[in-house]
Amino acid sequence: MLSKQMEAALNDQLNKEIYSAYLYMSMSAYSTHIGLKGFANWFMVQYQEEMIHAMKFYDYINDLGRQVKLMAIDAPPIEFESPLNMFEKTLKHEQFVTKRINNLVDLAIKEKDHATNIFLQWFVTEQVEEEANDNDIIAKLKLVGKKGDALLMLDRELAARVFTPTPASQPA
């Protein structure tokens, strides 16, 4: 049984996942604009992953017989200082999402909503991976510094990232 408060919180997180997708699509567009097609690819894969996250919330709310309520999506930033700045913003955003997921788990525990708690565990694990990926790329970008050839090598590495679709309602 989903409480009204939990239902609203899940709808809100669905909105935030779509904002995440929108943010990374904006970073992809910016990367393309400055000639970093590998970075653009990495962020477009991230966009696709975020849409899967959003759909997990969408399906879960539907599965419990409630109505998904879509809200306005905030506009993302469109300019970034550097590739490093983009990934620092990405990490900061993911830390914000992690906090939100943890708050949802806290609410599920408080309400003894075991089903929602289990549903959210996938996201708890996913957030560890997301932050680890961002930290890894930030470390590489700090090593790259202002070296253009090293940046292009990293761009080639990020070009190799592939989106692996998994059904939204199943664990990835």
CB of 85: closest distance to ligand FEO in angstroms? 18
Instruction: State the binding string over 121-140 for ligand FEO (x if CB under 6 A, else -).
Output: ---------x----------
CB of 14: closest distance to ligand FEO in angstroms? 10
CB 26 within 8 A of CB 76: yes
The one among 2, 11, 40, 50 contacting ligand FEO by CB under 6 A:
50
Q: Which is nearer to ligand FEO, 122 or 150 (CB)?
A: 122
The contacts of residue 11 (CB under 8 Å, 6+ apart) are: 57, 61, 68, 69, 71
Count CA atoms closer than 13 A to 134's CA, side-chain side. 21
CB of 49: closest distance to ligand FEO in angstroms? 7
The one among 25, 42, 44, 94 contacting ligand FEO by CB under 6 A:
94
CB atoms within 10 A of CB 57: 24
CB atoms within 10 A of CB 136: 11
d(CA 35, CA 134): 21
Contacts with ligand FEO by CB under 6 A lie at 17, 20, 50, 53, 94, 97, 130
